[in-house]
Structure 1
Amino acid sequence: MIQIKTETLEEKATACVLLRDCVAELKEGIDLWIDEVAETLVPLLNFYEHAEVRIAAVLAMPEILKSSKAAIEKRLLQKSPFEKLCSDIIPALVEALVKEEVIKISAVMLDSLEDCLELSGPVLNIDQIKRFLSVIMDVLDTSMSIPKGDEASEQGVKVCACLKIFMKTYKGSLLQFFDQLLSPMEHMWVKDKTVKERKIALKIFTDVVEEFREEALKFCESELSLLFKACNDEEPEVQEIAAHGIGVAAAYGGSIFKPLVGEAVSALNATISDSMAFHRDYIMAHDAAVTALGQIYLFHKDRINASEKWLGYRVVNFVSLKRFSMIFGSGAEAEATLPPFWFLTAITAKSYIIMVSEDELLRQEFAYLPKIIAAFAEILWADDETLATEETVNRVNKQLRDFKSRLPSNIWSSILSTLEPSRQNVLQLSLSS
């Protein structure tokens, strides 16, 4: 009897896989039977007698929605059947997820739920939204109780992905749920939590802030306080992710963040000025802190004296245009946004690029120019497109020529004399070409 039952379950699993494959292959061609397919497979999300049946049903859910959506796009169906399928499938996946005890299957469910959310649009009512948030936070808590390892980390990442899409889709309905959305920061940012757990909490925090901006920061005073304190944490990874969170808050926080600029800069300075800052284990934290300072300078420049806060830090050798492009744009678009006499300055740890007023620097009796010119000489000497693009090199050359023409000759010569001979040679060769 046991053998017969097992064989029957295997056949059931095979049938589910075949049905799912038919939907995936036929796409809109199965639209006439899509309701019957859904009615067959949705209940099997809770088929606990056989894991493979559940997995096949879970994997079929996005395919059903894709098929229905394709039929609508090709005008084979009206819109209403697709919306009904969405409002049936997504809550069913959510309820199956909260009951699922097999971690690998719940991971598959999260993937399918993410796909269905991307396909569906805002079809859930307020009670279903509330239920989704409750379940997804429970799943997150459960994932943190998994013995530490890749499965726990992967589960947390998948929860974050679902939440991110959910927030984009239901943005207008989530203002009343900020406490729930931000709860991971409070629960997972305590001393006994692992770095991976804190990273997941921070990911949710940054997604909320990116999506809701100033509106979110009104509710984030305690979360920001946690980030400021974490800049002094003994773990470099914690320092790094805290600095990243501060940078996101600076970029999206607008007027809500402005009163916190002083506290944020002080916190980041603790990471930057740490005696271990340039140790290989801490360099990424140092880089993240400088990146966050760059965001503060970019969005809250009126609260910072650039020459005092920026160029006192160590100028490094190499420049990458990638971060510059992400923040300022690139090419003609970036050039069009920059006022005259502004230039690229690489500051500290592994290539963060900011914009600093030339006049502001020249007022400081040229105190910072040796560092800047030394960094530019390193860029030219490296001659490596992975470190500086051709566009960056051209702008460096242009700025060096401008410096040479505007500086007193004795100042220029004095600065050159501080460079290594190889750097002096490449700089002079570049200026003469």
Structure 2
Amino acid sequence: MISAWARMCKILGKEFEQYLPIVMGPVMKAASLKPEVALLDSEDMKTMEDDDAWQFVTLGDQQNFGIRTAGLEEKATACQMLVCYARELKDGFAGYTEQVVKLMVPLLKFYFHDGVRVAATESLPFLLECAKIKGDDYLREMWAFICPELLKAVDTEPGNDVLSEHMHSLAKCIEVLGSGCLNAEAMAELITTMNKILKEHFERAEGRHQKRKDEDYDEEVEESLLDEDDEDVYILSKISDIVHALFGTHKADFFPYFEQLLPHFAKLMGAERPWPDHQWGLCIFDDALEHGGPPVIKYQEYFLRPLMQHIVNSHGEVRQAAAYGAGVMAQFAGPEFAQACAEAIPLLMQVIGAPDSRACENINPTENAIAAVTKICKYNSSRFNIDEVLPLWLSWLPVWEDEDEAPHIYGYLCDLIEANHPLILGANNSNVPRLVAIIADALAKEALDSKSEVRTRLLNIVRQIQGNGEMFNACVAQLSMEQQQALSCALSSQ
């Protein structure tokens, strides 16, 4: 029943609010279940050994600690359902946030069941989002209750799977609350914990390196080491989430704290490190470039050379992170990086022009590279001849896979068309059929959100071309049926 109610909530959305008074009692009761525990000597154990409802851990010779596991799954399910209500109902759940947060925060230490801790930590950013409607004072009070316990959970969590959830939750809480949500004491505690986690990342990697040299090393050991690799990389990605949240909310004010972790981030970029370290190291410096602005130049010795080198890395994830970095460097880091932007262009072209650049596994890095060239041309083109790049740039369109980058690319296309740029329109407007085809393809592939301003600009350009009936009909005649339908539908609906 508890699971069914959550599914109904997901389907009904706001309409489910009216049923909360009916369902919250049973759900809170199940989520509040306290497990039975017992301390038994060896004699008592003999009578309990075959009871499937209990699990035991031996403590020394004569004592055994037992927990009744029956009911823990129901508790975990109920906690997960509370997450669902908070996520789906938002301010409609505000009236229940106080009782739910008082239940969930202590469950961050519920070591009897991983699923309960995961649900508890997952609920916190959603509960803060719900509580916003009750005003700043209420929100501050709730965060003051959550913050020390969540930071402690990140520091002391024994399970890597749950640790990554705590870290993700903290990042989301920071994004919900914004700049200043962590006071000096909390920020110092977080930096200390992140420092410890990063140290352990390098120590564990070195440990695995040594195990691969052992005489006992075989395929089975390698399989176990690869699992550990994956776990470590996932935790590293959550470090990146927290840095992303802090840069996104605090901008350049985060730099003094960032500097305390800088030796670790620089180490991730080292040539000898495995490629996932390069990927997440680049993501962290990408955030510094995007949100830190021109002052980021003081860290260029740590990131600039690796970023340029990794644009042509053999791993798509690393190429994508490096290409994205080149784009935000052009957009946000200022004219001091103009030479670096010019040097990035041929490297990005190499990625885009590769024979398999549009293959499934390469399409996202390729579209990030196209977006990077777009941003360099638009924001930081003083050190190269842009007229040599634009015809090539146009030949790479359309793009449709990366929804975040598509608005930058098509926005720049609109800029150039609206400015009547001769290289884009062609001699005697000879490129217009090609431009209509690009726009129609973008619409057919739903590259842009239906409410996007860039989509409206593209349609206005098409309407201008429509003013010349003969030219427009010639353009449409060259389109596929799918493109014609997408164009017609978009023009009539907006």
Question: Residue 304 in 1 paired to residue 360 in 2?
Answer: no
Q: Please name the residue that 2:17 is paired with.
A: none
Contact kept? 2:121, 2:166, Cα under 8 Å:
yes
Q: Could you report, residue by residue, the CA deviation over 1:242-300 in whole angstroms, capped at 9, with x for unpaired residues?
A: 22211121111122322423322343344456677677766654443333222110102
Alpha carbons of structure 1 residues 15 and 385: separation in structure 2 relative to 1, 3 Å = closer
CA–CA distance in 1 between the matches of 2:173 and 2:442?
48
Q: Please name the residue that 1:352 is paired with.
A: none
Q: Please name the residue that 1:413 is paired with.
A: none
Q: Please name the residue that 1:341 is paired with.
A: 420
Q: Please name the residue that 1:242 is paired with.
A: 322
Q: Please name the residue that 1:350 is paired with.
A: none
CA–CA distance in 2 between the matches of 1:381 and 1:172?
41
Residue in structure 2 matching 1:114, options 159, 171, 174: 171
Q: Could you report, residue by residue, the CA deviation over 1:189-211 in whole angstroms, capped at 9, with x for unpaired residues?
A: 33454443333222222222222
How far has the Cα of 1:115 moved from its partner?
4.1
Q: Please name the residue that 2:279 is paired with.
A: 199
CA–CA distance in 2 between the matches of 1:60 and 1:384?
37
Residue in structure 2 matching 1:132, options 187, 190, 195: 190
Residue in structure 1 matching 2:269, options 189, 204, 208: 189
Greater shift, 114-123 or 93-102, is seen at 114-123
CA–CA distance in 1 between the matches of 2:106 and 2:367?
50
Segments of structure 1 that go 5 or more residues without pairing to the other structure are 344-355, 406-421
Greater shift, 214-223 or 379-388, is seen at 379-388
Q: Please name the residue that 1:179 is paired with.
A: 259
In structure 2, give the amino acid aligned to 1:252. Answer: F
In structure 2, give the amino acid aligned to 1:253. Answer: A
Greater shift, 44-53 or 92-101, is seen at 44-53
In structure 1, give the amino acid aligned to 2:194. Answer: I
Segments of structure 2 that go 5 or more residues without pairing to the other structure are 1-39, 49-53, 55-64, 87-91, 206-224, 448-454, 485-494
CA–CA distance in 1 between the matches of 2:365 and 2:170?
34
Contact kept? 1:184, 1:204, Cα under 8 Å:
no
Q: Could you report, residue by residue, the CA deviation over 1:313-349 in whole angstroms, capped at 9, with x for unpaired residues?
A: 7925746697563456499xx57x9654237xxxxxx
| SS in structure 2 of the partner of residue 304 of structure 1 | coil
In structure 1, give the amino acid aligned to 2:407. Answer: S
CA–CA distance in 1 between the matches of 2:320 and 2:76?
46
Alpha carbons of structure 1 residues 424 and 257: separation in structure 2 relative to 1, 3 Å = same
CA–CA distance in 2 between the matches of 1:95 and 1:250?
39
In structure 1, give the amino acid aligned to 2:444. Answer: E
Q: Could you report, residue by residue, the CA deviation over 1:355-411 in whole angstroms, capped at 9, with x for unpaired residues?
A: x566xx76xxx9xx98x5784586599898228989758847977999x99xxxxxx
Contact kept? 1:244, 1:289, Cα under 8 Å:
yes
Contact kept? 2:171, 2:241, Cα under 8 Å:
yes
Alpha carbons of structure 1 residues 399 and 305: separation in structure 2 relative to 1, 3 Å = farther
Report % sequence identity: 20
Contact kept? 2:358, 2:366, Cα under 8 Å:
yes
**Equivalenced residues, count:** 379
Contact kept? 2:252, 2:291, Cα under 8 Å:
no
CA–CA distance in 1 between the matches of 2:81 and 2:350?
56
Alpha carbons of structure 1 residues 142 and 425: separation in structure 2 relative to 1, 3 Å = same
CA–CA distance in 2 between the matches of 1:127 and 1:147?
37
Alpha carbons of structure 1 residues 233 and 159: separation in structure 2 relative to 1, 3 Å = closer
Normalised by the length of structure 2, the TM-score is 0.58
In structure 2, give the amino acid aligned to 1:325. Answer: P
Contact kept? 1:42, 1:89, Cα under 8 Å:
yes
In structure 2, give the amino acid aligned to 1:83. Answer: R
Q: Could you report, residue by residue, the CA deviation over 1:39-80 in whole angstroms, capped at 9, with x for unpaired residues?
A: x7655534546646645654565576567655x43xxxx82x
**Alpha carbon RMSD of aligned pairs, Å?**
5.1
In structure 2, give the amino acid aligned to 1:386. Answer: K
Greater shift, 245-254 or 272-281, is seen at 272-281
Contact kept? 2:339, 2:383, Cα under 8 Å:
no
CA–CA distance in 2 between the matches of 1:82 and 1:316?
48
Residue in structure 1 matching 2:293, options 188, 209, 213: 213
CA–CA distance in 1 between the matches of 2:122 and 2:311?
42
* 1:306-385 matched pairs, under 5 angstroms: 306-311=386-391, 315-316=395-396, 318=398, 325-326=407-408, 329=411, 340-342=419-421, 372=431, 375-376=434-435, 379=438, 385=444
Alpha carbons of structure 1 residues 195 and 396: separation in structure 2 relative to 1, 3 Å = farther
* 1:126-165 matched pairs, under 5 angstroms: 126-139=184-197, 145=205, 147-148=226-227, 151-165=231-245
Q: Please name the residue that 1:93 is paired with.
A: 150
Alpha carbons of structure 1 residues 290 and 69: separation in structure 2 relative to 1, 3 Å = closer
Alpha carbons of structure 1 residues 181 and 256: separation in structure 2 relative to 1, 3 Å = farther
Alpha carbons of structure 1 residues 32 and 273: separation in structure 2 relative to 1, 3 Å = closer
Contact kept? 2:175, 2:248, Cα under 8 Å:
no
Alpha carbons of structure 1 residues 266 and 180: separation in structure 2 relative to 1, 3 Å = farther
Q: Please name the residue that 1:45 is paired with.
A: 108
In structure 2, give the amino acid aligned to 1:45. Answer: L
Alpha carbons of structure 1 residues 263 and 318: separation in structure 2 relative to 1, 3 Å = closer
